[in-house]
Amino acid sequence: MALAKIFVLSVGSLLSSGFFVGAVADTAPRSEIRFAISPQFPPYESRNAQGQLVGLNIELGDALCAQLDVRCTWVDQVFTRSIDALESRRFDAIMGMASTPQRRQLIDFTDDLYPLTTHLVARKYSGLLPTVRALKGKRIGVLTGSNREAFALAQWAPAGVIIKSFWLNDQLIRSLVAGDIDATLQGKAEIRQELLDTERGQTFDFVGPPVTGQQMGTAVAIGVRKSDPELRSELNRALEQLKQSGEYQRILQGYPQEEPDAANAQDQDGPQFYPGDLDLPFSEAVRVGSMLYTSSIAGVDARLNLVKGGTGAQMRQVMNTLRELLSRHQSSLDRVVKCTLMLVELEDLNLVNDVYLGYFARGRLPARSVLTVRRLPHGARVAVECVAMVEDPPGSMAGAPGN
């Protein structure tokens, strides 16, 4: 009986003290941060000849850990499965990931570490541009699970661009050099080191302006679990302290910066200009705030040849081109608010209307003006220009490894 009492008292004591023990554990200072990395993307994260981890993300992570007085542990992780592994607590944070709107629905992100840009890379004089019209039927290489894959599949694949995904960037680059793909979406720093600044890359270059899109993101940050706001706050505090001390700037100065070309940089608070073919003296669209203004669209194919079949066929080509253009710029036909229709012959209006009404819902017809003109470029009989709303404010759309 005495032994039984002692056992009951011991269990009761443990249960009664459980809350206290838990409280102490919850407030215990952090001693380690486990960062997930994919060390195959110089100059961001890779291994040198001695097998040591090197790169911008490694230096930033080590500096953050030193600022927080904790140990940094680096965990090799396949990038495409990193969010699932984070939620499974294989590590505490993902170092160097594009903070896209889609990923923010799954995990939280720290403040931005550095900006990212994305460019189309192809052979010089290939005539390729980062537009659906130029890339239709072409093979574009992207990394599996990356933000660039998400963009290409959403914005380009539905319009006939062939998207080929690769697990490793060196596989992708070998395919580009071998001609198995026509172009790739890449960040400037990574592709320079891996291809453009090498002997085999002398026939390749960036083509066209930076590529932006909702799925792309505009910066690289550290991904953390939504259930761990304390770690996010600690990392943000440490990052700010590194900036105030100058250590952050010192680290970044040792690496090429992912910044848009000066010629392509645009004031995010002002108009955003989106060129089409480079030999045309106008932008295919201009975005101001949440509104997109298109240039006039005629019934021509990708080589600017007038489609055959008369006014009706031209009008169908016009509307298909308009739909593709709107999709590229985060809009759609059901977000069009105003169109201007230009006709060489007013007698064609009924025929044009029959085609036009096949593209808009009857309850969402845009406001419209009709003009008759003497002539249109390429000998076209009909042209259309429109104003549409876009899904996101400028600056929310847009390199780092596998982003």
- At 189-204, the pLDDT tens digits run 889 989 999 999 999 9
pLDDT, position 134: 86
State yes or no: pLDDT of 401 exceeds 90: no
pLDDT, position 188: 87
Confidence of residue 14 (pLDDT cuts 50, 70, 90): very low
Of 298, 314, 287, 308, whose CA–CA distance to 395 is shortest? 287
Contact 182, 122 (CB under 8 A): yes
pLDDT, position 60: 98
**Tell me, what DSSP letter sits at residue 214?**
T
Whole-number Å distance between alpha carbons of 32 and 92 = 9
* Element (DSSP H or E) covering residue 109: strand 108-109
The residues with which 185 forms a beta bridge, in sequence order, are: 120
Q: What angle do CA 384, 388, 390 make, to 5 degrees?
A: 145
pLDDT, position 27: 55
State yes or no: pLDDT of 11 exceeds 70: no
Looking at per-residue pLDDT, the higher value among 362 and 176 belongs to 176
Contacts of 179 (CB under 8 A, 6+ apart): none
**In this structure, which long-range contacts are made by residues 111-114, counting pairs with CB atoms below 8 Å and at least 24 apart in sequence?**
111/221, 111/236, 111/239, 111/240, 112/219, 112/220, 112/221, 113/57, 113/60, 113/219, 113/220, 113/221, 113/222, 113/239, 114/56, 114/219, 114/220, 114/252, 114/257, 114/258, 114/400
Match domain 272-389 to its CATH number in 2.60.40.1120, 3.40.50.300, 3.30.390.10, 3.30.1330.40: 3.30.1330.40
Domain ranges of the chain: 18-115+217-253, 119-207, 272-389
Give me 295's structure tokens.
């240039």
Looking at per-residue pLDDT, the higher value among 232 and 396 belongs to 232
* Element (DSSP H or E) covering residue 253: helix 247-253
Give me 13's structure tokens.
């004591």
Identify the CATH number of the domain defined by range 18-115+217-253. 3.40.190.10
Q: Which residues of 291-328 are buried (b: 16+ CB within 10 A; e: fewer)?
A: ebebbbbbbbeeeeebbeeebbebbbbbbebbbbbbbb
pLDDT, position 402: 55
Q: Which CATH superfamily is domain 119-207 in?
A: Periplasmic binding protein-like II (3.40.190.10)
pLDDT tens digit sequence for 346-367: 999 999 999 999 999 989 999 9
Confidence of residue 391 (pLDDT cuts 50, 70, 90): low
User: If you average pLDDT over residues 12-16, what whole number do you get?
Assistant: 39
In whole numbers, what is the pLDDT of the chain averaged over residues?
A: 86
Q: What's 113-133 look like in SS3?
A: CEECCCEEEEECCCCCCCCHH
pLDDT tens digit sequence for 16-34: 344 333 334 445 789 999 9
Contact 137, 256 (CB under 8 A): no
User: If you average pLDDT over residues 82-107, what whole number do you get?
Assistant: 94
Please name the amino acid found at residue 97. Answer: M
Of 218, 261, 257, 210, whose CA–CA distance to 111 is shortest? 218
Tell me if domain 119-207 and domain 272-389 are identical in fold.
no
